């Protein structure tokens, strides 16, 4: 839940000038819609999630010019997602990050399993390109 924790940190900084300026943020399979732990979000409406989400309630505290890339995995189907975090959860950030600075990327296949995403070469290439404009060789 590092991505969710980092977003919470960004919302709680009272004096941003006391901390390094964050320009880009990559959230890998962050469970943004989990209210208080793992959640089966398939039956929950976006309206309900917005009402219950602490992150959504404090979205005005997030840096407005922060570039955000949300990465999610699909092993077999969109509803299952990466086996732990659904697409709906990983991409719930679109409701509280500035849409002009927010983008999403889906990784497919068996290496898109939640715990494998940080070891997936496609994720590495995507992050290198996003953060530094690098196009790593295969």
Q: Name 89's Cβ contacts closer than 8 Å, sequence gap at least 6.
A: 30, 31, 32, 33, 34, 39, 41, 81
Per-residue model confidence (pLDDT) at position 78? 78
pLDDT at residue 31 greater than cutoff 80: yes
Q: Answer with the residue of higher pLDDT: 49 or 43.
A: 49
pLDDT tens digit string along 49-82? 888 888 888 899 999 999 999 999 999 987 889 9
State residue 32's pLDDT score: 84
Q: State residue 109's pLDDT score.
A: 95
pLDDT value for 1:
65
104-124: pLDDT as tens digits: 999 999 999 999 999 999 999
At 20 the pLDDT is: 86
Tell me the average pLDDT of the chain: 88
pLDDT of 39 over the 70 cut? no
CATH of 2-11+27-132, one of 3.40.50.1820, 3.40.50.300, 3.30.2350.10, 3.60.21.10: 3.40.50.1820
| 55 contact partners, CB below 8 Å, separation of at least 6 | 4, 7, 8, 11, 32, 96
Query: What is the C-alpha separation between 86 and 84, in angstroms, rounded?
Result: 7
Q: What integer pLDDT is reported at residue 53 of this predicted model?
A: 84
Give yes or no for residue 38 having a pLDDT over 60: no
């Amino acid at each position: 839940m590092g991505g969710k924790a980092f977003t919470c940190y960004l919302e709680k900084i009272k004096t941003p000038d006391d901390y390094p300026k964050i320009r880009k943020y990559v959230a890998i399979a962050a469970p943004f819609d989990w209210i208080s732990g793992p959640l089966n979000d398939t039956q929950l409406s976006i309206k309900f999630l917005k009402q219950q989400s602490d992150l959504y309630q404090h979205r005005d505290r997030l840096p407005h010019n922060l570039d955000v890339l949300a990465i999610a995995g699909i092993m077999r189907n969109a509803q299952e997602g990466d086996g732990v975090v659904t697409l709906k959860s990983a991409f719930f950030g679109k409701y509280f990050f500035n849409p002009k600075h927010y983008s999403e990327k889906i990784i497919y296949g068996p290496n898109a399993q939640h715990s494998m995403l940080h070891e997936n070469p496609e994720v590495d290439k995507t992050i290198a390109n996003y953060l530094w404009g690098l196009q790593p060789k295969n």
